Structure 1
Amino acid sequence: MSAPISPTDFVSPPVPVLSVAPVVLPAPGRPVELQVRVSAPVTGTGLPVVLLSHGQGYSNHLSSLNGYAPLADHWAAHGFVVIQPTHLSSRSLALDPRTPGAPLFWRSRAEDMTRVLDRLDDLERAVPQLAGRLDRDRVAVAGHSMGGHTASLLLGARLTDPDDGSEVDLTEPRIRAGVLLAAPGRGGDALSASAAENMPFFLTTDFSGMRTPALVVAGDEDDSAHLTVRGPGWHADPYVLSPGPKALLTLFGAGHGLGGVAGYDVAETTDEDPGRVAAVQRFTWAYLRSELYPGDSAWQAARDALSAGPDPLGRIESK
């Protein structure tokens, strides 16, 4: 087990959280209605927003608005409004596999996030406790695994649509920062044969245009052999192959679950470690806090705390 970092090192005191779900947002043309969960501190105004994109995995409901409570709860308790959509790829929806875009709905996932930003007025009407409390100029995106791919597209990564050969640009200019958790890396010969055949949209991933500031979080034991032949280093590609400013947090001993960020006591987490989850919670919070509030010292304090311990949980690089 990883030794926890004291929250007094760099994280603000927690406050009670309000969580409301499902909130239904208008989504004309979508195969099913867009449902989101909204988690927010019960007090405060001018609250920054984090759009949180779920991964896939084997569970029925972690890949939905009901997953990722360790992240959503922590970020909301420390001052963020967290909005979690159920993407069309969620097992909880059990859509017909013949639905256009199935099974992973890579384009629709990113479009869900843009739709949420377009519908913030509807969200405030649906959750009146939030009315007038959102800071719409401070918006971030975060995602784990496939959700990391979604986030990377919104931050400026590009790909070629395997169906029609067009270059796809889903960059969302309203998003000012991002967090990519165990996100997919580059395509081409880095992919496994099965990934290249079954997920051809991965083949042309290009991070050279991903200019929005982002923190990439990767586990040094996350080999993801079903997706890549390159081993754990593949998940650092969004940092290595994109322009700065970027940061990379490599967690020692971490697998794809990064200790268990997808949910509390999740059976599919192969590297369960509450200390590691606490580190992910706090370092991602600190990064987003400092990126959205220039001059805030949380990220530097987090970096100092990581290097100060005798048995560090990981290392941080930046460019």
Structure 2
Amino acid sequence: MTAIRRTAAAAALLLALPLSAVATAAPALAATAPAASTAPVGVQVELPRPTGPFAVGRQILHLTDRSRTDPWVPSAGPRQLMVSMYYPAKAGTGGPAPYMTPEAARLMLDVKLPGNTIPTEVVTGTRTWSRTDALPQHGRFPLVVLSPGYTMPRTELTALAEDLSSRGYVVALVDHTYENTGTTFPDGHTTTCEACEFPPSDEQLATFAESRPKDVSFVLDRLTDRGRPAWRYAHLIDRDRIGMAGHSLGGAAAVPALLTDDRIRAGANLDGTMFVPVPATGLKGKPFLMIGRPLDGPDDPSWTESWSHLDGWKRWLTVAGSDHGSFTDIPLFFEKLGLPQSPETTVTAARGIQLTRQYVAAFFDLQLKGVPQRILDGPTPVNPEIGFHP
């Protein structure tokens, strides 16, 4: 890895850490964070309503990969993962789906906001639109695997997961254990982040490049097993139509995942510096979507290099006024809690989520369902924030 790519990768990974976690970990790369924060009385965060015709169901899976030892904490034994499964469901069935567990919420707040006084209920009380154990719709649907950013729990992509499912997708939202602020397992214990060195070492980046694709492939193995799949509604999955998308490190991980797993037909990167650039030989002709912030000064070299090597359908979109978190749920909390965002951010939280949902869904509708999408052909007055890289 060249020095310039290493610096860009480190900066992009750190940007996944909002507010004071970034400032504490790498003051040279981040603005000073606020002091202890207090939630306004009675605040409740609500995710935007999904836009598709289906209600959304959710189930939580605990998966154990006994073929490999955990790469971050070998003493923990086999690699264990928690996965949220979202699926098209029948309206009026199931119960409320909590946003995240209290302990995972507490760890996220305490890590991101040193001196935090925001009660965990502000996060755990977030209004979602999915229903736990809702009855599934009939039919078979494409599967999209979602991977969150470095240090971020999988819940940061809940709004995107719910929307994709409402539009007729099964979604597997994966927590990469020990790479985020906290993952809660069924026995009640919550792991912490063991892979949070700032900046990440070359060894850590190499482990990410190997481990995340293995996590994704293992999840696919367990979901598409024709004998004993790990999920009770695995019959909903169309095994021939599988895609992957992710934010930050999760988006970057789509490149090695597409290269190593032929079941994944299309990939999308949401503002993630590609620590594994697309090789000169391409991605086996697989379509790839890159959507992110406009970059000040020279382009991110990993994106510029990868763009030139993509050998299938491709789009590089920029969202004017966005920042690194605009493609996730996180800005919703910033706005409700009155926390500052980067000064160049002009896109509201709701608009950032709306644009992310619209273009990611259009990409997978085109690539996995074969439905033409005019918004992917070029700029449109309806979405003036979206720029197309030539």
Tell me the equivalent position of 1:20.
59
Aligned pair in 2 of structure 1 residues 48, 232: CA closer, same or farther (>3 Å)?
same
Identical aligned residues as a percent = 25
Aligned pair in 2 of structure 1 residues 254, 279: CA closer, same or farther (>3 Å)?
same
CA contact (8 A) 1:51 1:140 kept: yes
Tell me the equivalent position of 2:84.
37
Partners of 2:298 and 2:223 in 1: CA distance:
40
Choose which of 144, 148, 160 in structure 2 pairs with 1:54.
148
Partners of 1:293 and 1:256 in 2: CA distance:
29
CA contact (8 A) 1:218 1:235 kept: no
Aligned pair in 2 of structure 1 residues 41, 120: CA closer, same or farther (>3 Å)?
same
Choose which of 140, 143, 150 in structure 1 pairs with 2:253.
150
Given the alignment of the two structures, is residue 248 of structure 1 paired with residue 286 of structure 2, yes or no? Answer: no
Partners of 2:86 and 2:162 in 1: CA distance:
7
Aligned pair in 2 of structure 1 residues 154, 304: CA closer, same or farther (>3 Å)?
closer
Matched residue of 1:66: which SS? Answer: helix
Report how far residue 172 of structure 1 moved: 1.1
CA contact (8 A) 2:247 2:327 kept: no
With normalisation by structure 2, the TM-score equals 0.59
Matches within 5 A, 1:1-319: 13-21=52-60, 23-28=61-66, 29-31=68-70, 32-42=79-89, 43-57=137-151, 63-88=152-177, 89-92=179-182, 93-94=191-192, 96=194, 102=204, 105-121=208-224, 126-128=230-232, 130-156=233-259, 171-185=260-274, 202=275, 205-208=277-280, 209-210=282-283, 211-220=285-294, 222=295, 230-231=298-299, 235=303, 237-257=305-325, 259-263=326-330, 265-267=332-334, 270=342, 271=345, 273=348, 274-294=350-370, 296-297=371-372, 299-300=373-374, 302-303=375-376, 306-309=379-382, 312-317=384-389
CA contact (8 A) 2:277 2:305 kept: no
RMSD of Structure 2 on Structure 1 (CA)? 3.2
Matched residue of 2:173: which SS? Answer: strand
With normalisation by structure 1, the TM-score equals 0.70
Report how far residue 19 of structure 1 moved: 1.2
Matched residue of 1:67: which SS? Answer: helix
Amino acid at match of 2:192: A
CA contact (8 A) 2:224 2:239 kept: no
Report how far residue 53 of structure 1 moved: 0.8
Matched residue of 1:68: which SS? Answer: helix
Partners of 1:33 and 1:95 in 2: CA distance:
14
CA contact (8 A) 1:69 1:264 kept: no
Report how far residue 255 of structure 1 moved: 1.8
Report how far residue 155 of structure 1 moved: 2.2
Cα-to-partner distance string for 1:32-68 (whole Å, 9 max, x where unaligned): 41211111111241110001111015xxxxx233231
CA contact (8 A) 1:12 1:78 kept: yes
CA contact (8 A) 1:177 1:214 kept: yes
Greater mean alpha carbon deviation, residues 40-49 or residues 108-117: 40-49
Unaligned runs of 5+ in 2: 1-49, 71-78, 90-136, 183-190, 197-202, 335-339
Tell me the equivalent position of 1:196.
none
Partners of 1:68 and 1:114 in 2: CA distance:
20
Unaligned runs of 5+ in 1: 1-10, 58-62, 157-170, 186-201, 224-228
Amino acid at match of 1:240: S
How many residue pairs get aligned? The number is: 259
Amino acid at match of 1:41: P
Amino acid at match of 1:216: M
Greater mean alpha carbon deviation, residues 231-240 or residues 175-184: 231-240
Partners of 1:291 and 1:307 in 2: CA distance:
20
Structure index of larger Rg: 2
Amino acid at match of 2:141: L
Partners of 1:13 and 1:105 in 2: CA distance:
34
Partners of 1:305 and 1:231 in 2: CA distance:
20
Partners of 2:312 and 2:224 in 1: CA distance:
33
